[in-house]
């Protein structure tokens, strides 16, 4: 690597320097999935001659336009089907000789929103403080990335968003050495749907050997079975006025916006305003042949250390005072559908039938319990560490709870973005960010998050050691053990 000019397998790239890093944005890792390539597995990108400027982020996957103002930092990105781009941050002056560990971020957003270019994922501080190369990726979302079409034949695919992630990881294996990275030390890390994606990648034969470690934040295995995926695909085709088989070639010709609008109408008809995830990984023979938790239990990810955890109040992002919400029974039915279980009424009988109770049920069952289950199935095949993010900002209307996604700014140490929420950065916030970033990058370097001043033993069924990130961080054994036992006795008894 010579400054910001690098040679890749597809041509030369020119990035830019700033904040102690060299950064390259908008690098194509696959061909644009347009026309006949829509609804098909990603193909390699075309090579180019000369020097390609890599200073601007590429377009983001088609998705509902963000109205919050925070997802893209108050800016409006370009939304396009041509979205398969990644970004690289590499320390301008490496603290150690030789190739650096690589951390590949897979964003969340319930498989329908998000991009690797979101400001909260800016990789400069993580790269510099951790002496790592940071990569963020886009992948196809919603119906374009997670519609179960492979049973229809004709080269149509399923789990295309996951295959995009695999294509990005293949690009990393082939090219990251030119950016100062070590392809033998790749850590995938992600949050929410990004973490659920990692659960699937750990089980997918095509992803084997593409990464050495995994960090899963607030999301374990989450899939549809083939029948469910087929029903959703049929519903969307019906919404588009297409017949399976005879009309499916029209899927390559319809305006992408028409497909996205039909998906929105379909989702509302099927679930109204209730929680739903109609577009997510599907268990199917060609790409994800075994449900991830079953595959992990059988050793599919043997030898891959995993760091996994959740936030104390995950559900309070989705259920808040004053928000329109279903009643407790309706919410529970939506959660049962989401989790693929028949009846949670007995297990949740002790929860308050209020919005607070709905938030707590979502935290405990959908996020926390599933992460524990995943950890316990993997720990027999590789080292596992578990954490919980408890840090809150008392009195703040949103962050007075450790809500879903709240840890991301601390992992990346992009705390100045808290100004969007009316907050100034405090020394306590900086201490939490330093602890998390130190642990995450220590894991990337050596496969163990323990670091000076942060003793962190592995998670085992004997101790169930869990690191609590808070004003004072430390390990607790068998965290909330009574609740954990009650939940798992229900599932196994």
Known catalytic residues are 192, 314, 404
Percent helix, strand and coil across the chain, each to the nearest 5: 35, 20, 45
Is the CB of residue 403 less than 8 Å from the CB of residue 377?
A: no
Q: Where are the beta strands (DSSP E) in 29-154?
A: 51-53, 85-91, 100-106, 133-137
- Rounded Cα distance between 444 and 446, Å, is 6
Give the burial class of 241: count Cβ atoms within 10 A of its Cβ; 0-12 exposed, 13-18 middle, 19 or more buried: exposed
Distance from chain centroid for Cα 441: 18
Distance from chain centroid for Cα 460: 25
296-313 burial, b at 16+ Cβ within 10 Å, e below that, comes to bbeebbeebbbbbbbbbb
DSSP letters, 14-61, are E-EEETTEEEEEEEE-S----GGGTTS---PPPP-SSEEE--SPPPBP
Q: Strand 133-137 to strand 100-106: parallel, antiparallel, or no bridges (unpaired)? A: parallel
- Rounded Cα distance between 438 and 435, Å, is 5
**Cα 93-97-99 angle, rounded to 5 deg:** 90
Give strand pairing partners of 493. none
Is the CB of residue 347 less than 8 Å from the CB of residue 357?
A: no
Give the three-class secondary structure for 12.
strand
């Amino acid at each position: 690597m010579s400054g910001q000019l690098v040679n890749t397998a597809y041509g030369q790239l020119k990035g830019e320097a700033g904040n102690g890093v060299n950064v390259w944005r908008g690098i194509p890792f696959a061909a644009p999935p347009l026309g006949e390539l829509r609804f098909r597995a990603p193909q390699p990108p075309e090579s180019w001659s000369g020097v390609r400027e890599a200073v601007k982020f590429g377009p983001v996957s088609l998705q509902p336009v963000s109205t919050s103002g925070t997802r893209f930092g108050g800016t409006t990105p370009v939304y396009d089907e041509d979205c398969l781009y990644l970004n690289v941050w590499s320390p301008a002056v490496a603290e150690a000789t030789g190739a650096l560990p690589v951390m590949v971020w897979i964003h969340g957003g319930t498989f329908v929103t998000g991009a690797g270019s979101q400001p909260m994922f800016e990789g400069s501080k993580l790269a510099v403080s951790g002496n790592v190369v940071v990569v963020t990726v886009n992948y196809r979302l919603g119906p374009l990335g997670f519609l179960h079409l492979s049973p229809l034949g004709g080269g149509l695919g399923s789990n295309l968003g996951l295959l995009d992630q695999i294509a990005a990881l293949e690009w990393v294996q082939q090219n990251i050495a030119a950016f100062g990275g070590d392809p033998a030390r790749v850590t995938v890390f992600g949050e929410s749907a990004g973490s659920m994606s990692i659960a699937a990648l750990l089980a997918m034969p095509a992803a084997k050997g593409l990464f050495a470690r995994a960090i899963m934040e607030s999301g374990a295995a989450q899939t549809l079975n083939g029948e469910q995926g087929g029903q959703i695909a049929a519903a969307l085709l019906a919404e588009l006025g297409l017949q399976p088989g005879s009309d499916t070639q029209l899927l390559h010709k319809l305006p992408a916006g028409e497909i996205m609008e039909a998906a929105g109408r379909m989702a509302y008809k099927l679930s109204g305003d209730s929680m739903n995830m109609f577009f997510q990984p599907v268990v199917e023979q060609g790409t994800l042949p075994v449900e991830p938790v079953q595959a992990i239990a059988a050793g599919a990810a043997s030898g891959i250390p995993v760091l996994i955890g959740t936030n104390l109040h995950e559900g309070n992002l989705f259920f808040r005072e004053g928000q329109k919400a279903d009643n407790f029974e309706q919410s529970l039915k939506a959660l049962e559908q989401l989790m693929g279980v028949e009846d949670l009424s007995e297990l949740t009988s002790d929860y308050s039938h209020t919005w607070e109770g709905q938030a707590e049920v979502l935290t405990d069952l959908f996020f926390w319990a599933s992460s524990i289950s995943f950890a316990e199935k993997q720990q027999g095949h590789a080292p596992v560490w578990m954490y919980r993010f408890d840090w809150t900002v008392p009195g703040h209307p949103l962050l007075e709870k450790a809500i879903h996604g709240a840890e991301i700014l601390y992992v990346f140490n992009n705390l100045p973005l808290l100004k969007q929420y009316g907050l100034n950065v405090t020394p306590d916030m900086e201490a939490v960010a330093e602890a998390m970033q130190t642990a995450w990058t220590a894991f990337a370097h050596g496969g163990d998050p323990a670091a000076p001043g942060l003793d962190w033993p592995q998670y085992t069924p004997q101790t169930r050691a869990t690191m609590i990130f808070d004003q004072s961080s430390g390990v607790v054994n068998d965290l909330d053990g009574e609740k954990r036992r009650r939940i798992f006795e229900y599932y196994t008894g």
